[in-house]
Amino acid sequence: MFVLVNLKAYPCDPVAVAEAAASVDSGPAEVAIAPQAADLSAVADTGVQTWAQHVSPVEHGSHTGSTLAEAAADAGATGTLLNHSENRLKLADIDGSLAAADRVDFGTCACANNPDQIRAAAALGPDAVAVEPPELIGTGTPVSKADPDIVRDAVEAAESVDPSVDVYCGAGISTGEDVVAARELGADGVLLASGVAKAEDPAAALEDLVAPL
């Protein structure tokens, strides 16, 4: 199982969370951290797998405020989230950001709200898609419990387009039980944020996430 922890813009210590992730015996799980762009280098220096929260659909040039894929790669990132519900993109821009990620050989995960959007995102050829109903994000109620059919249908939707695209389960993931439930519904990984980023003890939170695996 792939466990991607998105630190968003939470007031946490990204290096401390990254060090916790690097110290956890993840067993069969693969843990990655997605910090703010300014923290990519510091997080990557801990040795943990580091993902950008976004890369822009641009190349070198006059693109003030953009996140250039090459800059994220130079800072130590090896993958990127795209189209998170808090940073929605047009379909053409998702396609452009995937092309930017391909230039630097990034792993990619395109987020979507529901199975229909998962189908559209999978057709663009990311490495993975993540189904995240926005109303459950940050609630502590995982979609695997609130509406498990969304996860099952997302897996089927991605498979119908491209069986090589992995499916991650996001929104409300916070415990190892949630991770196991996602796996049993067919997900290849999970995407979470507050369950680790807001935890008093990130290492303990991460241990709890991966221990049942």
* Cβ atoms of residues 109 and 129 within 8 Å: yes
Q: Which one, of 36, 1, 18, 2, lies nearest residue 196 by Cα? A: 18
Q: Tens digits of per-residue pLDDT, 25-76?
A: 778 889 999 999 999 999 999 999 999 999 999 999 999 999 999 999 999 9
Residue keyed to tokens 């990204």:
14
pLDDT over threshold 70, residue 120? yes
List beta partners, residue 50.
33
* Cβ atoms of residues 15 and 48 within 8 Å: no
Residue keyed to tokens 């250039």:
68
CA angle 201, 205, 209 (to 5 degrees): 170
Q: Which two tokens stand for residue 106?
A: 């990034």
Domains annotated for the chain, with CATH where assigned, are 2-210 (3.20.20.70)
Active site residues: 84, 132
* pTM, full prediction: 0.94
CA distance linking residue 191 with residue 189, whole number of Å? 7
